[in-house]
Structure 1
Amino acid sequence: MGAAPGTPRLGVVFVHGFNSSPNMWDPLRRLMGADPSLSYVDTLPFGYATQLWVLDPRRTIPTFDTVADSLKEYVDTEAGEFDRLMLVSHSQGGLVVQRYLARMTAEGRGADLRRIGRIVLLACPNNGSEIALSLRRRLLRRNPQEEQLRPLNEQIADTQRAVLRDIVNAGQVTAGSCPIPFSVYAGESDSIVPPASARSVFPDAAVLPGDHSGIARATDPDDRTYTTLRRLILLTSASAEPPAGAPAEPPAGSPGRPGDRPTEPVSPTALPGTFAVVAAAERIPDMDDAAFRLTIVRLMRDSLSADAGFSAAYKAHPRDHLVEIVERCRSHRDAPAALAAFRDAVTALRPDDAATGELRAVLAHLR
């Protein structure tokens, strides 16, 4: 799946981990810069103070709250020009990102988070890290960042509950909530943050090759961390919303807009863009219900010929799942028939809804 022509620019904010720096992302950023399919992407490495100890009495190691507020200002200012963002973090950086999200919703700024299309956590110690724990307690006892990397930290647990409630499982954008898909990955040979801690309770969690640092240091375009990140970037771009206040409509050149018939005959093989279909479909009542979406897939499978069939991988986040279904339609051996089957399945389940009429208009030329 490649980005459609005219895809809006996407800012990818990188957040490093404990005792590290923004330079750790250089290999990944070079790969992205050399990838023609990601030419619309800008990489934004966020840096913050983190070290084992401070000897200068005039300096201190910032707490997670302080770093989260620094990230908030970075997103508002350095990333302020982007209508769409994606945050990618490694290790402790994932805890910083979660603290940022929790503080934003607590401040009533949930609507300001809607331009963030995805959060990616690589080897994040969601349940803490036990490696060299007794030694860390003795040598780093005044390091506020190390304290929050310990298992069963109360503030980390509170932050995670807030993120699950107000971000991961949120149903709509409000002052105190904003649904954002999380993609969470553990390193298969990571002894610092074991897979159980990295995956934690997040619904969309998986494993990538590499140890704790290797998972984030892809140097080859075939490295699975890079191919996964590239897929997530393209997925996030495909599911992008229009800027606030803009009408939800297909991109220029798409066959028809919601509520309008095409003014010129459209070739039967012309396919509307993924955004056009998803933007209409996600407004249909119950589309955020996984059982409803799975029923649509079942009806599509039943309606298409047996030799063609249809399948789409399940995704926990409703928009991710819709993008997956629509992209599978567009890559189907009989793409017009698959998209028509999607339209007809939705119409059968929600025939009288206004949003269903919009979806029919987007796909009206398909028979």
Structure 2
Amino acid sequence: MGEAWLGVVLVHGFNSAATMWEPLRRLIGSDDDLAFVDTLPFAYATGLWAVDPRRRLPGIDTIADSLKEFLDTEAGPYRRLLLISHSQGGLVVQRHLARMTAEGRGADLRRIDRVVMLACPNNGSEIALSLRRPLLRGNLQERELRPLHERVAETQRAVLRDIVHAREVTERTCPIPFSVYAGESDNIVTPASARGTFPDAAVLPGDHPGIARPDSRDHRTYTTLKRLILLASPDAGRPDLRPSQDLRPFPDTFAVVALAERIPDMDDPAFRRTVVSQMRRSLAPDSGFSAAYKEHPRDHLVEIVERCRSHRDARRALLTFRDVITALRPDEAATAELRALIGEHR
């Protein structure tokens, strides 16, 4: 593992292989900004049909169980994980998360910072459907790629309820932000299917395989993934945002965010906007403050705290964040803990 402490787990799709990630792995491996990252390709058996009659192709449930063991073992040493999937790989990741929360293992998911899905057939794929049905009749994976598959829809509902819209870590829930992308020229998984019902969805250039194979650091898939990786681990990925040597260490971003998430109404976009607005007024005019709005509460809070970190007067900005929260929610236990955490670094 070396000096890396963020594991980026790569999950390929149907009729593909872990080698499909090589262009992305080369770009990440040669990027000095991402020296804290190890890429961890997860491989599983897939194809149109099993050539050897003594073998069969596994279904999504079986692959999800294999992914669970991969995360426990190969990815076990990493403090934090980011999962990137392509196509059917997104269904595998969702099935894993849904099975974990159903088994009461929500707390075991807390080291996953984010899930990124590229061209995932959340609503199925209709490409060559009339041919696929008779030709691939025994293929368990192909069945779940069909439109309106109930098991896929059930899994998606569970993930949205227990992961995407979750507010706290419990046995049955764990809040993890999802970033969902469609390929703008993808005719295998349409943008509507790739978006599904996920709230944070966008489009990247490329066809179905191309969206996951950036060929340069300027490719928008790479710039987008790099941004998300840096967001997942800002302290390691943004050395330019570390505090100057005359200040004591800036509190861990995720420690601050974890406490802030527990404060009532922090999941309300209007409340978070009020926090930013009051911080802006308090820090103006000599050193104003801005933070881009993010739909997922954790993303937005990470953005706010990281904007404090990158502020020209980082200590003052963080104290302003503390003071605004204290004024808005003075009597909450989490507010007191937040004050104590930030107050420890004078």
Superposed pair shares fold, TM > 0.5:
yes
Q: CA-to-partner distance for each residue in 1:185-214, whole Å, 9 max, x for gaps?
A: 111111111111111111111111111111
Select the residue among 268, 273, 298 that pairs with 1:294.
273
Structure ranking higher in helix proportion? 2
Alignment of 1:264-275 (within 5 A): 267=246, 272=251, 274-275=253-254
Q: Does 1:69 align with 2:65?
A: yes
Whether the aligned pair in 1 keeps the contact of 2:125 and 2:188 (CA below 8 Å) is yes
Of stretches 276-285 and 344-353 in structure 1, the one that deviates more from structure 2 is: 276-285
Deviation at 1:298, TM superposition (A): 2.0
Select the residue among 48, 53, 67 that pairs with 1:57.
53
1:35 aligns to what? 31
Of stretches 86-95 and 356-365 in structure 1, the one that deviates more from structure 2 is: 356-365
Whether the aligned pair in 1 keeps the contact of 2:243 and 2:309 (CA below 8 Å) is no
Whether the aligned pair in 2 keeps the contact of 1:9 and 1:84 (CA below 8 Å) is yes
**Aligned residue type for 2:260:** A
1:205 aligns to what? 201
Residues paired across the two proteins, number: 340
CA 1:132–1:341 in structure 2 vs 1: closer, same or farther (change >3 Å)? same
2:306 aligns to what? 327
Deviation at 1:361, TM superposition (A): 4.6
Give SS of 2:115's match: strand
- Distance in structure 2 (CA, Å) of the matches to 1:328 and 1:72: 35
Deviation at 1:68, TM superposition (A): 0.8
- Distance in structure 2 (CA, Å) of the matches to 1:365 and 1:155: 49
Q: Does 1:189 align with 2:185?
A: yes
Deviation at 1:309, TM superposition (A): 4.5
- Distance in structure 1 (CA, Å) of the matches to 2:91 and 2:225: 19
Which runs of 5 or more residues in structure 2 are unaligned?
A: 237-241
Percent sequence identity is 71
Of stretches 275-284 and 323-332 in structure 1, the one that deviates more from structure 2 is: 275-284
- Distance in structure 2 (CA, Å) of the matches to 1:227 and 1:295: 30
Q: Does 1:155 align with 2:151?
A: yes
- Distance in structure 2 (CA, Å) of the matches to 1:317 and 1:233: 16
1:21 aligns to what? 17
- Distance in structure 2 (CA, Å) of the matches to 1:310 and 1:340: 13
Select the residue among 219, 223, 238 that pairs with 2:219.
223
Which runs of 5 or more residues in structure 1 are unaligned?
A: 1-6, 241-252, 256-265
**Aligned residue type for 2:299:** D
CA 1:61–1:8 in structure 2 vs 1: closer, same or farther (change >3 Å)? closer
Q: CA-to-partner distance for each residue in 1:237-272, whole Å, 9 max, x for gaps?
A: 1389xxxxxxxxxxxx989xxxxxxxxxx9579855
1:350 aligns to what? 329
CA RMSD in angstroms comes to 2.8
CA 1:230–1:59 in structure 2 vs 1: closer, same or farther (change >3 Å)? same
- Distance in structure 1 (CA, Å) of the matches to 2:82 and 2:251: 25
